[in-house]
A = this chain, B = another copy of it.
Amino acid sequence: MVTATVWNEFRHEREDDAVREQYPDGIHEAIAEFLSDHGFDTRTATLDEPEHGLTEEVLAETDVLLWWGHAAHDEVSEEIVDRVQERVLDGMGLIVLHSAHYSKVFKRLMGTSCSLKWREAGERERLWAVEPSHPITDGIDEYIELPEAEMYGERFDVPAPETLVFSSWFEGGNVFRSGCCYRRGSGKVFYFRPGHETYPIYRQPEIQRVIGNAVEWAAPSEGPDPAYGERDPLEPLD
């Protein structure tokens, strides 16, 4: 059984009435709930817990970590970023949601600024599935429509995804690579654009389905455990 840990800043929901109304127990609980329904063993962790809730033990037991951050990226300690990066390289999956494109963890794993264009105007978004053979699209139609979304637009400063799964159209004239798969070390990383602290995007069944599919895809496989450092020859040398 796959263990998914949902991490959240959990600040907006305590400080802003509009956010609290949408996600009274925090966005992490909303995500954890639908992932539990999907059949995962689900936990949560938040910024203001000791070690941001991400102790060595928690990470060791986590197969896939989901990351939501927005306003407090800078408050995440370098030590925890190091720890999460190391655990991803060791095989843990990572799902980076919406504004977490700017999280330290994602920037660390990408090596780029992860900048983009944005606009908060409640415009329509349509995510087109461009790679129908990818398991992250299981059960999804040709596109997912979001009636009201924050716009994220290209140029998105990330390395080209190893697989581009979704490409977004926005009412205001922009496009975005909104479902991006990467491998880092023995771990898999999926960036998924949709989400917002006030639009009810994580209530939408197709979005929940994609995130569930992504957890399954990103769960560690049982591949070789690479050894590094000095090594004797496997064949006789001249």
Contacts and interface: CB of A to CB of B under 8 A. Distances in A.
B119 A230 contact: yes
- Chain A interface size range: 35 or more
Which secondary structure characterizes the binding site on chain A? loop
A153 to B, nearest CB: 7
A62 interface: no
Nearest to A120: B230
A48 interface: no
Q: Report which residue of A139, A168, A235 has the largest number of chain B beta carbons within 10 angstroms of its beta carbon.
A: A235
A89 B112 contact: yes
Interface string A97-129: 000000000001111110111110111101011
A126 B159 contact: no
Interface of A: 85, 89, 91, 108-113, 115-119, 121-124, 126, 128-135, 137-142, 151, 153-157, 159-160, 162-164, 167-175, 177, 182-188, 220-235, 237-238
A185 B174 CA distance: 19
